[in-house]
Structure 1
Amino acid sequence: MKTILKTAVAAIVLTSVAITTASAETRVTYKSAKTGSSYYQMGVELAEAMKAAGDISVTIEESQGSVQNVMEVRARGGDYVFTTPPALVGLAQGGKAMFEGKGDPAFEDIRALFPIPSLTMHFVMSAGSGVTDIADLDDQTILLGKGSFGAREGEKYLGLFGVAESVEIADVELSNAVSALKNGQIDGFVTAGSYPAPNVIEAAASSSVTVLSMTDAQIAETKRTKLTIPAGTYAGQEADINTTSLPVVAFTTTKMDDDTAYALTKTYWENKAKLGETSRWWNGVNPAMLSNITSKIHPGAVRYYQEAGIDLSDAHM
């Protein structure tokens, strides 16, 4: 009888320990992008890093886009983390553009955590085209793709720099860009993705290409954020490439408690170098990119940045 009692007590103790351990684990839902996209893959990598580093369990949710991510703030709780360009948060809080007539007090509670790799514009030209400036694309056949940010942005730049009427737009899917460039079907293609972009890596490795650099005046004309792709990022790239980008940031809301926001932010930055060993696009993120955040940062994340000696602006507080 005593043996049975001891066994029962031991089982209760083990169960209690298991419950305590499970309750100590912080669970977070991370919503970023469509399955198969680079940003969804980033979410998977981030979740694995969080799990390996501590007691934060991250569940990845597929998203249909940044606007949806912001809209879901209205119905989500304190475990919700999502990615979006900072500009969309400003539009939501102001009830402008795609958020016109859809304003909600919950948007005022959005708070930033940390930057992730930016969408980076690449104008990739065959070396044989001889083109070294975006303003010299006359008579070139360019692949823009369809429906993506890169396609829309590329079309805008062609207009800004006065070559839209003289460029032939190829009717080829972006997924076929590298083969089309190699066989001479196109002179170049436009793509937007976190650098180093896989299709640009492939193009540079398989043929001689030039990724166009933009002047400060050209970048200013686009009204986008300047980003420098360091020399050596792509095969044959001997100099830095100055281009434009659309910053992307991980956000949550004030519903998240300070300790969780602190732990997420601390774990992210302390494991970013390890993330970069898995995928090089993480190496393009640095604390200076906090300047791209135009709204408030979560108090828990602010605590980490202050401890780490990383400067924030008054607008972040």
Structure 2
Amino acid sequence: MLKKLTAAAFSATLAVAALPATAQIYKGETSAPGGATHAAMVAIAKIANDKADIDIQINDGQTLTSAAIKNAQGKIDFSIVPPAVYVFMTKGQAMYKKMGQDAIDASQNLRSIFAFTGGAFHPMTYADSGITSLSDLKGKKVFTGPPSGAASKNVEEVLRIETGLEAGKDYEAIHLNWGAGTQAMMDGKLDAMFNATAVGSANVEQIGLTNKIRFLGIDPEKLNSQEYKDYLKVPGRAFGEIPANTYSGQVNEASVTVPMYIMVSATRADLDEDLVYNITKAFWENLDSVHESSALLKAITKETAFDALNIPLHKGAYRYYVEAGFDVPDAVKPQ
């Protein structure tokens, strides 16, 4: 009996040894579904798997500021990073203030692959709320973004510049994750929210299907003010428009000027150069498939790959861009 068990165990060992080695799994984090930041990470992972045989598993619903520092610390391999967040990390400021020098040190390990338009902040309220302008948000409950996120800092700065209203003093700034914020809006627990997503997003459309909505725009004549010029000095910030009739239930009869934002697909400097080269090559050589995967990604083009990019390129990505003839700005070339 003992001999039979020993023989069986030996055979099982041989069978296990004959199996192919398990392929390495890489980790990526991104925001909740519904926006370009999520769609971009999904597209990167799908192309990497389909065209380069590289397995990237995505953990979504995450705060981008948290994913960025985890990426820089080497705890994950890929993330989507707002350019302003990288600035804060390199200086140990804002959401990284408590980390101080640890954040500054970690930032040295963050590298980029490409930049893309992430979307627009949709300042929205229900049409019957009595709120018709951003100034009307005084004394109201306003979702500005996740806690300790770049979005809430951005939104609250715009509200201060546009109206003079201060978060926590003149209005109640509600900080939840994006999914919870949308649900709170749909449940009638908020007076207004700034939904950060691509123009034409299904998340906003979902709200407009059940209630008429109004977008609260910025006064275009104020965009030339020194305060807004200073606001735009932070990398990744921009302004754009939500056209009339973009969403079901939208009552705005004209386009609305809103803050927009650029995002960066990022990785870590110590990730294998050939791996990042292969992912970058596969992504750009299959850009049509990327565009087909989501209408939110049609703004990704070779011409805008380095717009607002302030994180140095990974050596693997840079190698591909040189080979493919991209005009790479000197400021983001690897050292």
1:180 aligns with 2:188: yes
1:192 aligns with 2:191: no
Stretches of structure 1 that go unaligned for 5 or more consecutive residues are: 1-11
Shift of 1:113: 0.6
Q: 1:275 to 1:297 in 2, by over 3 A?
A: same
Instruction: Map 1:69-84 onto structure 2 (within 5 A).
Output: 69-75=68-74, 80-84=77-81
Deviations 1:233-267 (A, max 9, x none): 43467765542234321222332333222221222
Quick one: distance in 2 between partners of 1:146 and 1:316?
29
Instruction: Map 1:235-254 onto structure 2 (within 5 A).
Output: 235=248, 241-254=256-269
Counterpart in 1 of 2:157? 156
Deviations 1:4-57 (A, max 9, x none): xxxxxxxx9xx99x85xx79x775322334x76855565345323332233221
Quick one: distance in 2 between partners of 1:159 and 1:303?
43
Q: Which amino acid aligns with 2:328?
A: L
Quick one: distance in 2 between partners of 1:137 and 1:217?
23
Q: 1:229 to 1:94 in 2, by over 3 A?
A: same
Deviations 1:261-307 (A, max 9, x none): 22212222344443443433222333425221113112321233344
1:220 aligns with 2:224: no
Q: Which amino acid aligns with 1:175?
A: Q
Quick one: distance in 2 between partners of 1:213 and 1:117?
19
Shift of 1:64: 5.5
Quick one: distance in 2 between partners of 1:59 and 1:164?
41
Q: 1:94 to 1:139 in 2, by over 3 A?
A: closer
Superposition RMSD in Å: 4.2
Instruction: Map 1:261-300 onto structure 2 (within 5 A).
Output: 261-286=276-301, 287-288=303-304, 290-300=306-316
TM-score (norm 2): 0.66
Quick one: distance in 2 between partners of 1:91 and 1:204?
35
Q: 1:284 to 1:127 in 2, by over 3 A?
A: farther
Alignment partner of 1:296: what SS? coil
Q: Is the contact made by 2:241 and 2:257 (CA closer than 8 Å) also made in structure 1?
A: yes
Shift of 1:123: 1.1
Quick one: distance in 2 between partners of 1:314 and 1:137?
45
Alignment partner of 2:328: what SS? coil
Q: Is the contact made by 1:121 and 1:243 (CA closer than 8 Å) also made in structure 2?
A: yes
Q: 1:105 to 1:137 in 2, by over 3 A?
A: closer
Counterpart in 1 of 2:320? 304
Q: Is the contact made by 2:63 and 2:146 (CA closer than 8 Å) also made in structure 1?
A: no
Quick one: distance in 2 between partners of 1:240 and 1:306?
40
Quick one: distance in 1 between partners of 2:204 and 2:170?
21
Counterpart in 2 of 1:257? 272
Quick one: distance in 2 between partners of 1:73 and 1:189?
30
1:47 aligns with 2:54: no
Alignment partner of 2:87: what SS? helix
Q: Is the contact made by 2:145 and 2:194 (CA closer than 8 Å) also made in structure 1?
A: no
Quick one: distance in 1 between partners of 2:88 and 2:172?
32
Counterpart in 1 of 2:136? 137
Q: 1:146 to 1:292 in 2, by over 3 A?
A: closer
Q: 1:54 to 1:26 in 2, by over 3 A?
A: farther
Q: Is the contact made by 1:32 and 1:69 (CA closer than 8 Å) also made in structure 2?
A: no
Alignment partner of 1:291: what SS? coil
Q: Is the contact made by 1:138 and 1:163 (CA closer than 8 Å) also made in structure 2?
A: no
Deviations 1:151-208 (A, max 9, x none): 5544433322235389765989641324639xxx84x432223443333222344454
Shift of 1:226: 1.0
Quick one: distance in 2 between partners of 1:169 and 1:137?
13
TM-score (norm 1): 0.70
Q: 1:67 to 1:189 in 2, by over 3 A?
A: closer
